[in-house]
Amino acid sequence: MIRRLHQISSQVFQHRLAAAGLELTPVQFATLTILDTHPVLEQAQIAALIAYDRATIGGVIDRLEQRGYVTRKTSVRDRRARDVSLSDAGLKALRQAEPIVTDLQSEILKNLTQSEQRDLIALLTKAVKDTDHDA
């Protein structure tokens, strides 16, 4: 059931953002969101914070960089690492997407009452709390 809800949520996310003229995946949105709260992060840190696979986060960031949503430069702390920052265009896209994404939750959970939605969110929050699993 979790897999099916994930499929539904991904489909609704893609449809609604495309209708708004935004080409962002859920992982790209999560990346922009985390960069909004952490102005400079290494790619590995982004992967850890959004619970995404370290091996594939580079491709996600490549696509965001191609769109001009993020910038990358060599880390001053570790010349092997790349620091990633949110660009002005990325911030603009994020601000445009945020209200759409906020509204998605009610569409995804439309078969539940408001009380059931709150309970589900509380239970899901509890289920993922303090997990240390890679996506």
Residue 5 lies in a domain: no
State yes or no: pLDDT of 124 exceeds 60.
yes
- Please, what is the average pLDDT of the chain? 90
> In the prediction, which pLDDT does 87 show?
97
Q: Could you say which DSSP state residue 67 is in?
A: T
Q: Give the CATH number, domain containing residue 69.
A: 1.10.10.10
Query: Which residue is listed with tokens 């499929």?
Result: 7
116, part of any domain: yes
Task: Give me the mean pLDDT over the 47-53 stretch.
Answer: 91
Asked if residue 2 is part of any domain, the answer here is: no
Mean pLDDT of 50-59: 90
Residue at 4 is within a domain: no
Whole-model pTM: value is 0.85
d(CA 74, CA 108): 40
In this structure, is residue 98 part of a structural domain? yes
Q: How confident is the model at residue 132 (pLDDT cuts 50, 70, 90)?
A: low
**pLDDT above 50: residue 89:** yes
* Residue 1 included in any domain: no
Q: Is the pLDDT of residue 59 over 90?
A: yes
**83-104: average pLDDT:** 95
pLDDT at 56 over 80: yes
* Per-residue confidence band for 76, with pLDDT thresholds at 50, 70 and 90: confident
Domain assignment present for residue 3? The answer is: no
Q: What percent of the chain has pLDDT over 90?
A: 70
Q: Find the domain containing 90 and state its range.
A: 10-132
The DSSP symbol for 131 reads -
Q: What angle do CA 93, 135, 43 make, to 5 degrees?
A: 55
**106 or 122, which is more confident?**
122
Total number of domains in the chain:
1
Is-contact 90 70, C-beta < 8 A?
yes
